[in-house]
Structure 1
Amino acid sequence: MKGPFPIHSIPSQPWKNQAGTTRQIASGQGWRVSVAAVGADAPFSVFRNTRRQSIVIEGDGIQLRCGDRSVELLPHVVSGYAGDIEWQGHLRGRPATVLNVICEKDVAEAEIFVGRAVEVCADRQGAIVALPICCSMSYVLESGEAGVASRGTAFVCDDREFMACHAVAEWTTGIGYIIAVRLTPATNGAQGD
């Protein structure tokens, strides 16, 4: 288990294509979870033989285009797309912060849960990454450990540990939700496009 820890304490790294920056929250066998700051239209990095899932956690959204293909990355909505396509990102308004989950095909897969209350269990050799968005998050682990993760933090647990999370809305906004990512080894035929 790791966390909760402030995301801003993670050193910012340049994108693979040098067009932006990201903060890697966690990584494992064939997967990576990170938060990227997108301040302008830019190409997205290409990761061969991967499947990506993204959710805009701040900002108006991003449209990804490549030829006649397009994918909309929207606030609070999980979007899946191929990682080995040369996507051009176009902001839908103000700068965006995006949670990105990248999994190597046939190695790892991810399931993303979004809501005010989330209960998820890590699989054998898997992990869970949870983030409170615009709120704090109370959590309870199978071991009985309980606590509160504040806005702007991340929480990582693994080894089949069960985690129940509940969003606690901040009085100034009245909104808030949790993103929990369950990462597991790939099953046969998983992660195809």
Structure 2
Amino acid sequence: MTQTHLFDVETLPVGPWRNGGGDTREIACAGPAGPGGGDPADFGWRASIATIAADGPFSPFPGVDRTITLLAGDGVRLIADGGGATGAAPLDHRLDRAAVPFAFSGDRTLRARLLGDGGAVRVLNIMTRRGRWTADVRRVDAPVPLPAGHAGVLYLLSGRGTHGGPGPALRPGRGLWWTSGAADGTAPLEPGSVALWADIRPV
């Protein structure tokens, strides 16, 4: 069966952003050789919970695809100029609906502006190295299959869930992550529960 790892967002290590605009709580970071393998800057995929506390730039991640999902707060407006090295069109996106993922290229340099009263927001951040991994992030309300050969993250938004191992039951703010497994498994959610599932699969 796929081996899962339990996490609680409130006990994850916290690292401040270099520009002072927020902080990051890392869930998992898988290098080319698997979790903890290789150069951390050359990760295969990475999952984290970020707090955006002030207006300011997002650091670019060339060669990386990103998906962020609002978890708490009024939201944030993401803005990028057009043209430049990527030749991309201008971007102006309001991330103001909880549990609705937004995917974009990490090659782009984005600016973030807090919405509403300007209070801090919290987002789930999934990053995959283009050409190695790709991610599909979605809202789920039923037991989640863990496909063989896929990695992933499950973050509980409401309700409860079980994870088939030692430790406390899943509740909002807790979740699971796993690397590619040798056999299919299932991360069950109790009826009425809602979670975010990032299915991370090799290219």
Q: Please give the range of the TM-score, normalised by the shorter of the 2 chains.
A: 0.7 to 0.9
The residue correspondences of 1:171-190 to structure 2 (distance < 5 A) are 177-186=194-203
Farther off after superposition, 160-169 or 83-92: 160-169
1:40 maps to which residue?
A: 54
1:136 maps to which residue?
A: 160
Aligned length, in residue pairs: 176
For 1:136 and 1:111, the matched residues in 2 are separated by 22
Q: Which of the numbers 10, 13, 25 marks the counterpart of 1:11?
A: 13
Q: Which of the numbers 89, 92, 112 marks the counterpart of 1:70?
A: 92
Quick one: which amino acid aligns to residue 78 of structure 2?
Answer: L
The residue correspondences of 1:33-182 to structure 2 (distance < 5 A) are 33-67=47-81, 68-73=90-95, 74-93=97-116, 94-124=119-149, 126-139=150-163, 148-158=169-179, 159=181, 160-167=183-190, 177-182=194-199
For 2:46 and 2:79, the matched residues in 1 are separated by 23
How far 1:84 moved relative to its partner? 1.3
Cα contact 2:21–2:54 (8 A) shared by 1: no
Report sequence identity in percent.
24
1:173 maps to which residue?
A: none
For 2:167 and 2:24, the matched residues in 1 are separated by 29
Q: Secondary structure of 1:8's partner?
A: helix
1:156-191 CA distance string (max 9 Å, x none): 23314422331566xxxxxx52011111112xxxxx
Q: Secondary structure of 2:21's partner?
A: coil
- RMSD, matched Cα: 2.4
Q: For the structure 1 residues 15 and 108, does the alpha-carbon distance in structure 2 shift closer, same or farther, using more than 3 Å as the test?
A: farther
Q: List alignment gaps of at least 5 residues for structure 2.
A: 32-43, 82-89
Cα contact 1:72–1:79 (8 A) shared by 2: no
How far 1:136 moved relative to its partner? 2.5
2:37 maps to which residue?
A: none
Question: Structure 1 or 2: larger strand share?
Answer: 1
* TM-score between the two structures when normalised by the length of structure 1: 0.80
For 1:131 and 1:167, the matched residues in 2 are separated by 14
2:34 maps to which residue?
A: none
Q: List alignment gaps of at least 5 residues for structure 1.
A: 170-175, 187-193
Q: Which consecutive segments of 4 or more residues in structure 1 shift more than 6 A?
A: none
How far 1:19 moved relative to its partner? 3.1
1:89-124 CA distance string (max 9 Å, x none): 111223210000011110111111312214222342
* TM-score between the two structures when normalised by the length of structure 2: 0.76
Quick one: which amino acid aligns to residue 52 of structure 1?
Answer: R
